[in-house]
Amino acid sequence: MSETFDEATTLKRRTFVAASTAVAGLPLLTSDRLPAAASTAAPTPADQLSTVRLTVNGEQHTAKVDNRTSLLDLLREHLDLPGTKKGCDQGACGACTVLVDDRRVNACLTLAVMHQDARVTTIEGLARGEQLHPLQQAFIDHDGLQCGYCTPGQVMSGVACIAEGHTGSRAEIREWMSGNLCRCGAYTNIVSAIEQTAKEA
């Protein structure tokens, strides 16, 4: 019994995965069996690269990116601003909402090269030092978040909703926030947070 246990504890993770897949009758592609094209990414040709200049959260940034790079991937992967979330990556959930020149934009649906010299505000740029933006504080006050994944996009869209003047009623807020999904169902509290912030603005 102890000998069997000792042998089991010495199994490495890859050995375990290989054994498990073999038992299930599934082929296992290890790195030495992957096709060359799949194991190494080809560099992007120079004519498909562009230099993008943006002001993000008040700071100027320059990045050389593939022309197909979304604004979302530029923010997360090149500028190390992970607060903007990648949810559906299809523009359906609103988790990636940022402000571009003070207008709300789904960052996953727009290319970075389309926003040369634009001013971008992400969730990281709302607070002033240790002082939260009023809407961030209202989300806390009204418990407008649960898992928190959609919260950055909800807050950014809420800031725009207030600035656009679409807070005349709870129904109007719901309508203009309808592009932001909350899988936890905190909609009532989100509306309350926006309503409070709009009244205090």
Summarised one tens digit per residue, pLDDT across range 41-85 is 667 777 789 999 999 999 999 999 999 999 999 999 999 999 999
Classify strands 59-66 and 49-56 as parallel, antiparallel or unpaired: antiparallel
Summarised one tens digit per residue, pLDDT across range 183-195 is 999 999 999 999 9
- Strand ranges of the sheet holding 49-56, from the earlier edge strand across to the other edge: 59-66, 49-56, 119-121, 97-100, 103-106
Distance CA 128, CA 146 (A): 24
Q: Amino acid identity, residue 170?
A: R
Summarised one tens digit per residue, pLDDT across range 78-132 is 999 999 999 999 999 999 999 999 999 999 999 999 999 999 999 999 999 999 9
Residue 127 has a pLDDT of: 96
Using the predicted structure, report yes or no on whether residue 14 has a pLDDT greater than 90. Answer: no
Question: What is the model's pTM?
Answer: 0.78
DSSP for residue 70: B
